[in-house]
Amino acid sequence: MTNTVKAAHQKELFGHPVGLYILFFTEMWERFSYYGMRALLVLYMTTETIGDERGAGLGWTSKEALALYGWYTMLVYVASIPGGMIADKILGQKKSVLLGAIILCLGHGVLVLTDTWAFYTGLGLVILGVGLLKPNISTMVGGLYKEGDIRRDKGFSIFYIGINLGSLLATMIIGGVVANWGWHAGFGLAGIAMVFGLLNYVYGQKFLKEVGNYVPNKIDENEVSYGKLYAKLFSSPKQLVIVAILLIASIYGWYTLDWGFGLLFIFLTAITALLVMIYKDLDSQVFKDRFLVLLLSFIMVIIFWGAFEQAGGLMNLYTETNTDRNLFGWEIPTVMFQSLNAGFIILFATLIASIWAKRKLKGKEASSLFKMALGIIIMGFGFLFMVFAAIEFEKSGSSSMIWLVLAYLFHTIGELCISPVALSFITKLAPVKYASLMMGVYFAATGLGNKVAGIVGESASEYGELTIFSGIVIFTVIFGLLFIMILKPLKRLTHGAEEKERVLKNDEAEGFELVEN
């Protein structure tokens, strides 16, 4: 298992452990590489279709490109589940992050090549690398803080700034690189950024000595391997029936839908089997209730990212083809609009985190579940501006870029209410021996949301952007309100996991402890 054992005296910087900033910059460069390539991906695949002059692309249709975009962005995050398992049972979080960073460097390096095999191989390596790095580096951030430390949420918000600083730098710089030197130069720059991230992580090991290590606990009789959990399934009738039904549905999906969906359904059935057995294995009702709340919160995650990730797909194509991007005689590259989200996050992340912390200290509603539901509603309102953009385009043949700016602003505020909050929420509720796995499940939920985004984006070719944007507004607002309506019973199931948060005194905040939920 991966124990988070905290050292007696942590060195701090700006009120937070120095290790936070090592993880900050590692994640910043990793996200530079990821979001830089993400911003190029759909445009690169549709280059010849759109009539671009940035070099030879794949010449796919928008529907084909959005389909692959959905699969890729889903698998990047679904791979976090095996990545979390590997950390929990084999390598530990720290070594898993290191291995993931190395694989990512290789993946982006392969994407520099122009051959078709290199394109698919590079994407595959990026999927594996992110799967190992993403869930485990986030879990390590949570391990830097003592249980009940109100700085934890703010620490995750600072960490989240690193994610978006990387995204901002990538989307501001890579567009210009591609315009001058072509698509594969952009892919190469993403690889160089990942090398910087790897070097930073290796250098910072001295500040992470006691965090994320794999410590096999031979004395703990309750430690159960994933293999044994699967084996116990056959002596658990209720759980076996649930899994059997899902497996039959998966096989049916294999034959009625694309084979890729069949494989996905079977994989999700295997993960569901593991989750129901973990639930049964938990030794108290408090742990079981918290585990259930986590799984329910992942539904919000799927819905949020299913809408939000239109940014890299449908909204990206809409910006390219339907938006007037002329600013004082200069046509703004489409990729640069992706930087709006990151820029807004850097401006508002700590402010919004501070507002929520002050509400909490004043005894006002500021639970993670409330923040997440509100985040979905705010993000949904952002698509209202895309509705206005689509209406303007239908009337005049072009739409103002101001609608995009406003949409990204609301999307960002919504994201700040759900994404860093969800990361922190998992570290509060997840049983420590399954911490990395549950972080992996969270990112898998994010991945499923990405796939939903791809499917929704594909349907725009049939129903039109106006219909899709309007549908997203209606669905997200209704869904967020439903979760707010059931907020009280959900909070009861957390058994006060967030009620003890406070500003710790210096002697309380110093040092690490083993966090056992």
- DSSP for residue 87: I
For residue 148, the model assigns a pLDDT of: 66
Express as a percent the part of the chain with pLDDT over 90.
23
pLDDT digits (tens, 9 = 90+) for 90-116: 888 899 999 999 999 999 889 888 788
DSSP for 449-464, please give it.
HHHHHHHHHHTHHHH-
Residue range 13-35: mean pLDDT, rounded: 86
- DSSP for residue 327: E
Band of the pLDDT at 57, cuts 50, 70, 90?
low
Question: Does pLDDT of 49 surpass 50?
Answer: yes
Band of the pLDDT at 164, cuts 50, 70, 90?
confident
Amino acid code (one letter) for 171: T
For residue 513, the model assigns a pLDDT of: 33
Rounded to whole angstroms, the Cα distance separating 217 from 10 reads 25
133 vs 220, more confident: 133
For residue 389, the model assigns a pLDDT of: 93
Mean pLDDT score across all residues of the chain: 82
Pairing mode of beta strands 330-331, 326-327: antiparallel
Helix (H, G, I), strand (E, B) or coil at 428: helix
Residue range 86-92: mean pLDDT, rounded: 84
For residue 126, the model assigns a pLDDT of: 93
Residue range 207-225: mean pLDDT, rounded: 65
Helix (H, G, I), strand (E, B) or coil at 236: coil
487, two tokens: 């907020």
Kindly give, in sequence order, each residue whose CB lies less than 8 Å from that of residue 98, ignoring residues fewer than 6 positions away.
Answer: 198, 201, 202
Residue range 433-441: mean pLDDT, rounded: 75
**pTM, entire model:** 0.74
92, two tokens: 């530990």
Question: Does pLDDT of 363 surpass 90?
Answer: no
DSSP for 88-145, please give it.
IIII-HHHHHHHHHHHHHHHHHHHTS-SHHHHHHHHHHHHHHHHHHHHHHHHHHHHTS
107 vs 462, more confident: 107
Asked if residues 317 and 388 have their Cβ atoms less than 8 Å apart, the reply is: no
Question: Does pLDDT of 6 surpass 50?
Answer: no
Rounded to whole angstroms, the Cα distance separating 191 from 108 reads 5
Print burial letters for 431-451: b (CB count within 10 Å at least 16), e (below 16).
bbbbbbbbbbbbbbbbbbbbb
Burial of 11 (0-12, 13-18, 19+ CB in 10 A): exposed
For residue 144, the model assigns a pLDDT of: 81
Asked if residues 402 and 135 have their Cβ atoms less than 8 Å apart, the reply is: no
Residue range 494-502: mean pLDDT, rounded: 69
Among 263-267, 276-280, 379-383, where is mean pLDDT lowest?
263-267
271, two tokens: 């993960």
Of 124-133, 141-150, 444-453, where does the model show the most confidence? 124-133
Asked if residues 225 and 65 have their Cβ atoms less than 8 Å apart, the reply is: no
Question: Does pLDDT of 382 surpass 90?
Answer: yes
DSSP for 141-166, please give it.
HHHTS-TTBTHHHHHHHHHHHHHHHH
Asked if residues 6 and 93 have their Cβ atoms less than 8 Å apart, the reply is: no
Residue whose token pair is 């043949």 = 397
pLDDT digits (tens, 9 = 90+) for 291-321: 899 889 989 999 999 899 887 778 888 888 8
> Rounded to the nearest 5°, which phi and psi values hold at 85?
-65, -45
For residue 427, the model assigns a pLDDT of: 77
For residue 399, the model assigns a pLDDT of: 92
**Terminal CA-CA length for the chain:** 14
- Listed residue (185, 88, 74) closest to 140, CA to CA: 88
For residue 501, the model assigns a pLDDT of: 53
- Listed residue (184, 201, 173, 156) closest to 35, CA to CA: 173
For residue 423, the model assigns a pLDDT of: 76
Within a 10 A sphere around the Cβ of 203, how many other Cβ atoms? 12
Rounded to whole angstroms, the Cα distance separating 368 from 355 reads 13
Asked if residues 379 and 419 have their Cβ atoms less than 8 Å apart, the reply is: no
Consecutive H or E run containing 233: none
For residue 515, the model assigns a pLDDT of: 29
Question: Does pLDDT of 219 surpass 60?
Answer: no
Q: How big is the chain, counted in residues? A: 517
Among 269-278, 319-328, 468-477, 499-508, where is mean pLDDT lowest?
499-508
Rounded to whole angstroms, the Cα distance separating 257 from 291 reads 32
For residue 517, the model assigns a pLDDT of: 28
